[in-house]
Structure 1
C-alpha cells in the first residue's frame, strides 16, 4: 500500500511538473509573439475627426461629438467611444498593424499623473485643422498647434519616466501619424461667403496651409519624432455632404482641386526635409487617389454604395443630417464607403490603412509603413 501511495504521489508530481512546464512554454511563446508583433514602441496620432478616438468627448462646449449611437455599433463592445465611425477608424487599424493597443485620447489620460505615455497617445480632434478656427461651425476642437503643444508636455513626461537617453531612443523609433487638412479645405470651399475665401487664390491658400503645417511638423521633429506617416488630404469634394450641394450629386471638383494642390506641396516639402533633417524618415500616403478609387470603382473593393451615407437622414444621399440617435442606418455597413456625411466606414478605413501599411510605392511613398518601421 505504501509503494502504491508513493507511486501515485510520483505520478501526481510528474503531472504537475508537466503542467507547469507546458504553462511556462505557452506564456513564453505568447510573450515572444507579442514582442515580435510590436513593430514600434509607440504611436502618436495628430489630426481631425478621421482619427479622433474620443478627445472631443472631453471638450465641454463642442457639438462635434460622436459619443452617441449609432456610432460605434461595430466597435468592440458595440458602444460609441467618440470615433466618427461605425467601428474602428484609421488610427485603430494602424495601431493593430504595429502590434500596439488602440490609441487612447490624450484628454482622458492627462488627468492621471501615473499614466504611461511612452506607449503612445492620440491628440486628434474632430473639427481640427491646420489653421486655428476651422471648427467655427462646431464651436470647439483642438487645432494642430495645440495638439503639438500637448505633445510637448507628453515628451517631458516620457523623459521623466524613461530618462533622456531612453526617451530619445523610444521617440526616434515611434511612429508619428498626421491626418489633417480636410477641415481647412472645407473652410475655403464651403461657400462663397466663407471667411477663409479672403485669404487669396486657391494656390495662395494651399501655400498658407503648407507653411502652417511645416511649422508644426518641425516642432514635432525637434521634440524627437523621426518616423512620420503623413496622410494627404482625400478627395473631400466627393463626400456625401459635398455631393448633396449639387442637384446632379457630382463631386465638388473645386474642393478636390484644392486638396490636390495642397497634397503636391506637402509631398514636395517632405522630400525637401528628408534631405535637410538628420534621421528623418517618412511615409507619404496618397489618400486622395486611394479613396477616389474606392468611390469610382466600388465593386473592385467589395462595395456597392459609394455616394450615399450609411447613417444619416433626409435627401437622396442621407446627407442632410449627421449620424444622430434618431437617424436611420444601413444594415449592410460593409457595403458602404461612407458611414456618415463626411466620414468613411470601418470597411473603407481598413482598406486605406492596409494600403498605407504594405501597399506599392505609387500610393505609399517613398516607402510604405511596414518598410518605414524596419528602417
Structure 2
C-alpha cells in the first residue's frame, strides 16, 4: 500500500469515528435523560440497599465490570441500561436508592428504579424487591421534585424528551411456570397473561400521566430457555410452557402500547422483541459469535443451573462465548448485542421504530 492510500484509509477511519461521535452527541442532545424501570435485567444496584436474598453485590458478578467489582448488576459486567446510555452518549442512570436519601439528589440526569425480582404483579417476589408499582411511586416523587426545581413547564418538557426504558414480566412468568399444576389448571396461560396486561395497562398509563412520552419496552425473553428452566427437563430442552406464556405476553404488550399510542397522540414508543432476538443466539450460537447457549457461565450443578452465581460457584473463562451468565441472566456480551439490535434494528425485532429513531422524534 502506498503512502497516498495509507492517508486515504486513515482519513476515512477518522471520518467514521467523528460521524459516530456526532451521532451519539445528537442522540444525547435529543434525549437529556433516561429513566429506567424493571427487574434484574436492568438493576444497577437498587437491591444492594434492600434486605433481600435477591442480590448480586458479591463475586463473581462484576468480574468484567470496570474495576472488576460486583456492583449489584446480575451480570459479569455491564447490562442493558449501561449499553443504552453508551449508545445515547450519556452516563448510566444511577440507582434511585443510592441517591434518594441525599438532600441534593440530582434527578435531571436520569434515575434507575429497576429491582431484581420485580414483576408486574406486586405478589411476585413480594418483600424481596421493589415492586413495579413501588418503582412508579418512587418515580412520582422524582417527577414532583423536578417540577419543584425546574418549574412545571420545564419539567414537563424535560420528561417528554427523556427516554423511559422498561423491562418487566419475566419474573411473573417464571413464577407462573414454577407454580403447581393445580394452580395452573385454574389459571390457564391466556388468563394469566390477560391479568398481567390488565395490571400493566394501569401502570403504563400512570407513567404517561406523570410525563413519560418516549417509551422503550423490552419484551420478555425466551424465559423457557434460561438454564434454570432447561435444567428441569430431562432432555435439557427449553420449556415450551414458559416460552408460550412469554410470546403471549409480548404480543399483548405490543397491542397495549399500540392502543395507548392511538389514544395519546404525543406518545411515542419502541417495542423490542427480545424473545425473538435472543432465540437467534440460542438456536444459532456460532453465527452470532457464541460457543455455549445452554449452560450458564457461573453457577453450580448440572449446566451450572442448580445454584446461582456466588463466590463459591464455578465460572467460565470465556465469558464472551456464553449467552447466559448465570441460571437466569445474560452475559455482558449478550446484553451488548441485544441492545445494539434494539437501538438500530428493524421490524419485526424492534417496532414500530427502533430506539435511535425514537430519540430523534
1:283 pairs with one of 259, 265, 270:
270
Unaligned runs of 5+ in 1: 1-30
Distance 1:353 1:199 in 2: 37
Q: 3-state SS of the aligned residue for 1:87?
A: coil
1:34-72: CA deviation from partner (whole Å, max 9, x where unpaired): 854514111000000011000000012x10000000000
Q: Are 2:157 and 1:169 equivalent residues in the alignment?
A: yes
The 3 A distance-change label for structure 1 pair 199 and 167 is: farther
How far apart are the structure 1 equivalents of 2:172 and 2:210?
A: 25
State how far apart, in whole Å, the 2-side matches of 1:141 and 1:119 are.
Answer: 24
2:310 equivalent to 1:324: yes
What secondary structure, in the 3-state scheme, does the structure 2 residue paired with 1:46 have? Answer: strand
Answer yes or no: is the 8 Å Cα contact 2:24–2:87 preserved in 1.
no
Counterparts of 1:340 and 1:164 in 2: how far apart (Å)?
A: 44
CA RMSD of aligned residues (A): 1.6
Change (3 A) 1:45 1:194: farther
Matches of 1:313 and 1:86, distance apart in 2: 16
- Shift in alpha-carbon separation, 1:96–1:245, aligned structure 2, 3 A: same
How big is the shift at 1:160?
1.4
Looking at structure 2, the residues matched to 199 and 352 of structure 1 have their Cα atoms a distance apart, in angstroms, of 36
Matching residue of 2:322: 336
Q: Is 2:358 the counterpart of 1:367?
A: no
Confirm or deny that 1:249 pairs with 2:240.
no
Q: Counterpart in 2 of 1:4?
A: none
Distance across 2 between alignment mates of 1:149 and 1:131: 15
Change (3 A) 1:35 1:262: closer
TM-score, normalised relative to structure 1: 0.88
Q: 1:313 aligned to 2:303?
A: no
CA contact (8 A) 1:199 1:205 kept: no
Secondary structure in 2 matching 1:45: strand
Please state if 1:69 is matched with 2:59: yes
Check whether the contact 1:64–1:127 (CA below 8 A) recurs between aligned residues: yes
Out of 333, 339, 355, the residue aligned to residue 353 of structure 1 is 339
Q: Deviations over 1:254-281 (max 9, x none)?
A: 0100111111111111111111113000
Distance of 2:38 and 2:250 partners within structure 1: 15
Q: Structure 2 CA distance, aligned partners of 1:91 and 1:106?
A: 14
- C-alpha displacement at 1:314, in angstroms? 1.2
Task: Report if aligned partners of 1:93, 1:350 keep a CA contact under 8 Å in 2.
Answer: yes
Identify which range, 148-157 or 198-207, moves more after superposition. Answer: 198-207
The equivalences for 1:193-204 within 5 A come to: 197=184, 200-204=187-191
The 5 Å alignment of 1:162-241 reads 162-192=150-180, 197=184, 200-241=187-228
Which whole-Å CA distance do the structure 2 matches of 1:33 and 1:354 have between them? 14
- Superimposed CA distance per residue, residues 106-132 of structure 1 (whole angstroms, 9 cap, x where no aligned partner): 011101021110110100000100001
| Gap change, CA 1:115 and 1:34, over 3 Å in 2 | farther
Counterpart of 1:44?
35
Query: What is aligned with 1:12?
Result: none
Alignment check: 8 A CA contact 2:62 2:75 kept: yes
Measure the CA separation in 2 of the matches of 1:194 and 1:74.
Answer: 43
Paired residue secondary structure (1:247)? coil
1:293 to 280, 299, 317: 280
Q: Structure 2 regions of 5+ residues with no counterpart?
A: 1-20
> Does 1:140 pair with 2:128?
yes
Partners of 2:258 and 2:26 in 1: CA distance: 31
Cα offset for 1:368? 0.1
How many residues end up aligned between the 2 structures? Answer: 340
